[in-house]
Structure 1
Amino acid sequence: MEKILVTGANGQLGSELNVLSSNYPQHEWVFADRTKITLDNLDLLKTQLSEIQPTIILNCGAYTAVDKAETEKELAFTINNAAVALIAKYAFENNAKLIHISTDYVFDGLSSIALNEEAETNPINIYGESKRAGEIACLSENPNSIILRTSWVYSKFGNNFVKTMQRLMQEKESINVVNDQVGSPTYAADLAQAMIDIINFSTWVPGIYNYSNEGEISWHEFALTIKEFGEYKCIVVGIPSASYPTPAKRPNFSLLDKKKIKEVYNLDIPDYQESLKKMFIK
């Protein structure tokens, strides 16, 4: 029986994996929150991994406060880089499989075509820099790792764009949403299922893979779809990013090309509207 360690158990992705885990009783699941896996204390982390002794690690834990990272660089790099290196090293030395979650923020947003796994990385904020450093460390310490880059993650769990929009659209008559950042959302339940499909697949093919739902939209278009599905009356106004300054810059274009993961792991990736509808129905 494989023992699967899920870090970041209380996050969006960890929570969705927890929901799905009951469908896979052939595995022993260990869902580790910050008390069981301490990503900001490397000595403790090393001990915790040795105690749990997982045969598969799904590293969903991360520092994800994009704006706060601009002033908490050391903490962001400890969790998103140093801890990842340690986990990857453990996995390599103990012959454990590792899937590590990364982000579209490793890109600068200057592309105009969907980004594949070979596209040049050039993060434009501290969070993106820390996640890119984590990717490099992960593959350096453990070339057998799988890295999944994803974007615009949402779920019924945790804090995310969809839940924020649902709340604001019920509270306000009008809201502004940026219309010049383009990508595709990822329903965490779909990504969680993809991770399970990969670990249960007949072959293990290491490397970097992109995963998000299908579709090419702006945040404004995403908000309009949320409004439609929720039947909200709120007016949704599209504005340029320049009108909504944030401490950390965001990439203007981060649409991910999913051809590789579909071909290698035979995954069927749903359209973003289909997946968003699932969240509304649940």
Structure 2
Amino acid sequence: MEEKNQVFKIVMMKRKAVLYIIGAAVIIFLMILLLRDRKPFGGSNTSFAARPVERITRIEFTSGNNTLTLREEGEEWLVNGKQPARRSSILFITRILTEMQIKSPVSEELFNSGITSMGIEPVAVKVYEKNKLLSSFLVYKTASNQYGNIMKLKPGSKPYIVSVPGSEAEIGSAFTVNELFWQPYTVFSLQPSEIHSVTFENLSDTSSSFMIKYAGGIPSLLGNDRELTGWDTSRVLRYISYFTRVPFESWAPELTEAEKAGLSGD
């Protein structure tokens, strides 16, 4: 009888051991499921980057009552369905949207003092691949950090500073509804065949002013209200070709009205 009791105890102990092992395995499995997608600053829902299957095809920015849409149309991108977008700006924003990562969390105290108390309103961002929404988040543009931003997934979410790994670029300014930012930095972009005339007016020395007429592919040069002779045709044609693409460095929105008037000579 005593021997049977010993056998029974051994069997029960083995069963308990098996149950403990199974229980531990289940707990470990659940922990793996819960933690495998976790990020350094919390759950996977803190990821701002878009993950397209192929590529981003539409980006929407909303700030107050203003909305700007960048959409891929064939071989180019359009700004609000009208103007062609500057290629470098599209490459920049798509890199940000696909590569950006959380740099550091922001405390509620810092967010309230740097954003809320300053009355900074967010730019709402939506990123699409065709008709599929890839990501949406809020960007608060600020000079309080070198990356120019504090971001949230939604109004009640935790705030974070976001950057592109390997880059110290200020990315906050890229989230803008200003159409000019996205348009090409080009003053002229004309083919010679599209040019009828070019007038150069020298305000400090009017005698050096001139006009080139280019009708039917035949140039003529005028100065002081009369046609000039003895000029080099190849140089005139080369001058006309300069208007094929005349770029500029960037927009200057910070200029005052007085400064603008000074530039135009008014």
Fold conserved between structures, TM > 0.5: no
Q: Quick one: higher RCO (CA 8 Å, sep 6+), 1 or 2?
A: 1
**Which structure shows the higher helix fraction?**
1
**Which structure shows the higher strand fraction?**
2
Give the TM bin, normalised by the shorter chain. under 0.3
The structure whose Rg is larger is: 2
TM-score by length of 1: 0.22
